[in-house]
Structure formats: C-alpha cells, structure tokens
Structure 1
Amino acid sequence: MTGVPQFVAEVDHNEYLPAGGQVVDAILTVTASGPDLRDPWTVPTAAQVIMIDTSGSMAMPATKLAEAKRATAVAIDTLRDGVAFAVVSGTAVARMVYPPQPGMVPANPHTRAAAKTAVAGLRADGGTAIGRWLDLANWLFASCPTEVRHAILLTDGRNEHEKPEDLRRMLAVCEGRFVCDSRGIGTGWVASELRTIASALLGTADGLEHPAQLPAAFQAMTAAAMGKRVADVALRIWSPAGSTVRMVKQVFPHVADLTARRSAVSARIGDYPAGAWGAETREYHVSVTLEPDAVGEEVLAARVSLVSAGQVLTERLILARWTDDTALSTRISPQVAHYTGQAELAAAIQEGLRARGAGDVDTATARLGRAVQLAAESGHDETAILLGRVVDVIDAPTGTVRLKRQVAALDAELTDVRSVKTVRVKKEQG
C-alpha cells in the first residue's frame, strides 16, 4: 500500500478505575494525512453513481430540477478521468439517464459531454421510491468493481411509493457495497429517511435551503469522494477474555453508532466498518466492560487499530488500572465528556422534534430545552441557530425554552438532519 495516507491515532481516557469498577470509556482520534494527491500511484480505482429525483414535485418550483441538472453537470466535471460513472433518474421506478443502457462508463471528455446532454433532457413526472433507486445503483456498482464506490442521492420528497420496510430491506442489501451521501431539497423531504440512508451506507445526510446551493454541494461531495485514498477501512478492536465491547460510535465529524455492525474476526476480535479514507480526521468513542481486578493491577482493556486489506494502518492500546485514590478514579476525560454530550444532543433534538410532531408539548419542550443547553455548553453554534428556529430561547444555560407556535417544515427537518453533526473539543477544555 505504498503511497497511501499516513494514519496517526491518539487515545484519550481516564485509565484509573475505582475498586470494583468495570467500565472504560475512551476517545480514539485518527488522522490521515498525505500523500501528494497528484501522484497517480496513490489513486485507487473509483466509481460514482448520481441518483436524481425526477418526481413531479421537482417541477414545483422549476428551479429545483434546473439546479439539480446543473449540479449533476458540475459533479460529472469534478470526476477524475477514468472514474466509472452513471446517472440515474428516480421516480416510482429507477431508470438510466446515462449511459442509456444499464452499466457504467469511464469519465473522459466525450462521456462527460454526452452525459450532460442526457441530463439536460430530464423532465419531472411520477412518484418517489428510493429503495428502487438504490437497487439500481447497487447493480451498477456490482457490474463495475472498483475500490472506492460512491453515490449521491438527491430527493425533494418523502419515500411514499414503497413501504418503509422495502427501503430498510434494500439498505440491508446495499450495506457495505457502497457509500451514499443523501441530500434533501425543497420542503417535502424527511430528515429521518435521509439519516437512515446515510447511517446504513456510511455517508452523510443534509438538507439545502435553496436550489442554488445544489451545484456547490454536488461538487463538494464528488471532490471528497475523489480524494479517498484507502478503501474499505475497518476499526478493529481486540478485548480480553471476560470483557465486552459495550459501544463503538463514530463521534466526529458526525455521530454514527457502529456497535451493532461488528463483524467477528475471532472470538475476541471484531471489525467495525469505517468506509473509505482520504486526508481527514475522525474520532470514535469505544466503551469496554471488564472483569474487576485488585487495586494496583493494570490490564489491557482493548487494542484498537485501523485495518485495510489485511494491513494495520495504525494501532493504540486502551489501558485500565484499579486504584483507591478517588482523585484519580473520578477524573473526567474532557473528550469523553464532550462526545457523550454530543450524542445526547443529537438524541435530545430527535426526540424533541418527534414529540413536537406528535403534539406532546411537555416532552418536546423538555427535550429541546436540554438540546439548547447542550449546544450552548459544547459551543455547537450552528445547532444553536437551528434550534432557535423551532423554539424561543429564554435562557440557554438552563435550557429554558418555549416552543414556537409556527415552524416551517424545512426548519424542523434541517434541525433534525443536522442533529448528528458534531464539533470537536474546544482547546481550552483540553
């Protein structure tokens, strides 16, 4: 794997447990940097599928489809030469836009021009069945095996022409096959659906307030995919006999619970999917339950590494030792405390918005108030601004809020879909 990014990992945790203590929580920070992205020897094979909602509502207003076409053209131009690509039109069915027959073609001046011509002819008509779009994308990726497989999915509406279980079933089929970034435009999309897609397919989810933002969003997603240099990375965790890995979460740049996605390597070793990597930083919360030992004893609680294609990219140890010194055992790791709060922030927003939608004013007020408080404590300024669209903030430090009487559907969905985005620990906290 000559020429791949250099991976460096750091662990932050309080290794001291009180007598009888069993739980060790640690934050693993992994940073990948370099190499020169212009070096062709560092570039893995890649493929991209762009799925564009062309249901009837994309014509209301017409700027949605017009900007979606322009965004798709920008994404096509952002692809590296030689990258396999295809464009799919999504309604209640999925159909090929380019190439006209099912398959993928390498990006070059001729195919880019032909694809943009085909995209320019798209018309809006029909319903929305996202699982069928993903089904075709999955087939396309399977027809053209590459190392990095990336999809963009744009919708302006609810997945209303198939059952929720149909979408869940298709996501299970696609899981591990490709990464998908999902985006919503307009006022009819549903945050929970986009977050579900992003969670299952290790991508990102977001909503855009104005159609004119689409080209920049498509360019950024495609450029990020083109910057990936290591595919199919896994977070590998070894834990000693008698221990249990309680939780594995990605906590930066967004919250994604990986606990249930363990793939057993052996009885004591499990892999958790981490997708493809470029030059970037991610952070993970690992929690392990141990059998308590005597005061003064030190044990290896876990060995955590990132692996790809059988090669260890970086590795760190998580230690635990028992003490009767309360000053040591009660010390709080700033990183662990911060990201525990970030996960609670995401849950509070989602629960509060669900309660609001169900008419449960008391629960909505309490949970969204807690979200305002956590956002203020953690310096999550963007989230605080979004929360200000759904509640009137009376006192942020205490989480005292009042639900707004009228809230635009877009404001609620944006607050929901961005609830899983996180910020890193402030330097002064360290």
Structure 2
Amino acid sequence: MADKCHLCLLGLIILSSLLTGTSGVNVTHVFISSGENVRLPCNNHLHDCKSTTWTYNNNSAAVELINSGIKNKDIERHERLSLGSDCSLNINNIIKEDYGSYICRQYVNDKQQGTDARVYLHVLHVSSSSSQTEISAGSSVTLYCQLFSYTGVSCDDWIRSEGIQLFWVNQAGVKLTISDSRYQISAPGHCIITLTTTLLNEDDNREWRCEVTHRNQVKTSVTYTVKSSGTSGVNDDHVFISSGENVRLPWIKKKNTERHERLSLGSDCSLNIKNIIKEDYGIYTCQQWTDVNGQHQKQANDTHVYLHVLHVSSSSSQTEISAGSSVTLYCQLFSYPGVSCDDWIRSKRIQLFWVNQAGVNLTKSRYQKSASRLCNITLNTTLLNEDDNREWRCEVTHRNQVKTSVTYTVKSSEEKLKALLQTNELQSSVTVIMKKLKLESKEFLYLM
C-alpha cells in the first residue's frame, strides 16, 4: 500500500512539474456566437470571490467590470454581467462588441495574489446584406460571417497561426463550396467569409450555418434563416430553440410570474425570453387590443407561436467522467402542439439525430442509440481517453433542415486535477499527502 502511495505522490509531483512551466501564463480561449450566454472561467480564484477583480480590453483603455467581487454599475452592459459562485464571469446575450481580452486577478490587502488568468473571448457573428429576414424568391442575398477577436496581434495573423477556419455549411452540416454554381463564397480576410446566392422558392425557412473550427473541431456556429415573404400572412409559427439559449418570439410583462426577470418586450412587440429552460415550451399567443370610445376591443387575429425546446441531460450528475466509464445522454424535444408530441413529430417529418463535432451522424459500433419515443433519443457509449473535451451534438431537423441543436461536452477527471495543480491548493494538498505518508522534507525532495 505504501508503495502505491509513493507512486501516486511521485506521479502528482511529476505532473506538477510539467504544468509549472506554463502556469505563469494562464490563458483560455472561448468561442461563442452572438446572442448566446457565456461563462468565462477564473482559473486563479481564491476561496472568497471578494478578492476577485475582472478587467476587459479590446485594444482600447482597460475597463474594470468587477472590483472586489462587486459589479461596476457604471458600465453600459452591467445588466448582462454576473459573477458565478466560482468567481467566473457570466455574460448574457452576447453581442459582437463583447469580444476581447478578459483578465481575472486576485487581490488581498491591495496586493495581487498569484498570476493573471486571461480569457480571450472570440465572438462569431452573421449579418445580411438585407435588413429584412423575409425575402422573396429571385432576389439576391449576401451573408457575412465574421469572427471578432483580439489577442494582441491582428485577427488574420492569429487565426492563420492557430489553424482556425471559417466555413459555410448547409442544414445537413455539409460544407458549401464554390463548385456549387448557385453559391458564391469569398473570404476577403481570414476572419470573415461571405456567402452570396439567389433565393429559390424552396429556400423558404432554409438555414445556412457559419462554423468556426479549431484544428478541425467545431468551436461554435451561427445559423441564418431566410423566410419567404409569401408566408407573412400565416398567424401560426413554430420556433425551435435549445435549452440555455435566448429566444425571440415574433409579434406587458407581468412581474407576478416566476420567470418575469427573463422576459422582455422588443420594439416590434416580440417577446424575448432569456436563458431558456425546458419548462418554457408551449403555446404563446399574442393579441392586439385598443380602446375605442372607452371600450377595450380586440384588433385582428391572434398570433400563435409554438415554442419547442431541445434539451440534453446525462445519466451522470458530473461532466467530469474518467475513461472506461459508461455514459448515457438523453436528448428530448419538449413540445405542445395540441396533440401528442409523437403524433405531431411524425406528421411534420421532424427527426432527432446524434452527430459528432463534424456534424456527421454517429454510426460506429461503439455508440448504442435508441429512441423509445420519436421525441426522445438516447446515446450510450463507453468513454475513451481521446474523448476528453469531445463534443456530441443532438440536432432536430424539419424536412431535413436543422432547426436547432444542443452540444454536450465530456471533460476527463484529469482536467480537474490540472486546475487544482495550477492553484494555491496544490501546496496544501501535497502537505496533507506528506503527513499521511509520514515523509520528511528530505524524502520529499528526494522524490522530486
């Protein structure tokens, strides 16, 4: 037993020495799409977030966002910021201007403790040459996909050196190329890629997705949906969204509802819901009322929006699972179309799929997939060492067009150990082990 403990300690010390060379530069890169929520980790945090300060820079003067654990309310976006229990910085409803360098520092008695924890936030954003989402067939549209980054060097130089690429893909996840004559794809810079096409009748509700990859792994993506002007008279609409995201329901907030803090009304009278949870699914009805001669009268027809929420959960309560262990992922579409979900999903040709990080359907023998119901699909697999940080994505398609997706990432237990070794908890952890093994300082140095 003692030999095993000595071997465990020796492995801990060796791993520590390997990480020490990079611990002085604590850098994390986070990729996110505009409109989503993001968590920026503070990998040097102490036990008490009252020592935590977050600053932000994007090649301009540094701005202090959090000071001693307290949010700076003098900045424009303070309502979208919050501090997590682990001192992480949470930003809701990301906009492209949020890109840049975020630094987490720890101060005790006005003296900095440890090194900086720097997070580079890269924001992927898609815009259109048209100000309208409803465009008639025969018209031309150009979509611009841009990665907003600031790493201290030009975006083009950084993206080239890190093996990062931008692609346009169709709803099936297949890359669009210039060999298809209906698409004109150009890249005026490494950080921007454009897609130009002339719309067809069958492009109604078609989705084009822009993806950013790092060494062939998809980091994030943005979907752009074109709606034909011919459908604007329809009062029923179906919206598919993933849990955790924000949604806008087309067409006054009551504060006595449990989720009133997540609701807001858009300038076009749309209903915005932040941080969607699976319980938000259902039918939303918009009605217009006016006062005529002192009487409250209804105007026009009701507008019904069916909100369908895609949610993924795991058989394990932990996201950190060691290689060799089995994990089952459950992907479910929560819907209320007035009939059973299974009947509705069958009649509308809606399907759920598990795909890998490249968007390819999972078919290998190591995956066991089952669908007890049409609105629920499971994925079971035994984890391998190379599954660390691997992403599995559940997609919902409507007539072979991807409507939304949810990604589940598995992190190995080694990631947790690395985070521990990069904090001041290492010294106390080694001290405890030394006491248990009854090692003297000389023996400890000998092992090193």
Taking structure 1 as the reference length, what is the TM-score of the superposition? 0.24
Q: By percentage of residues, which structure has more helix?
A: 1
The structure that has the greater radius of gyration is: 2
Q: By percentage of residues, which structure has more strand?
A: 2
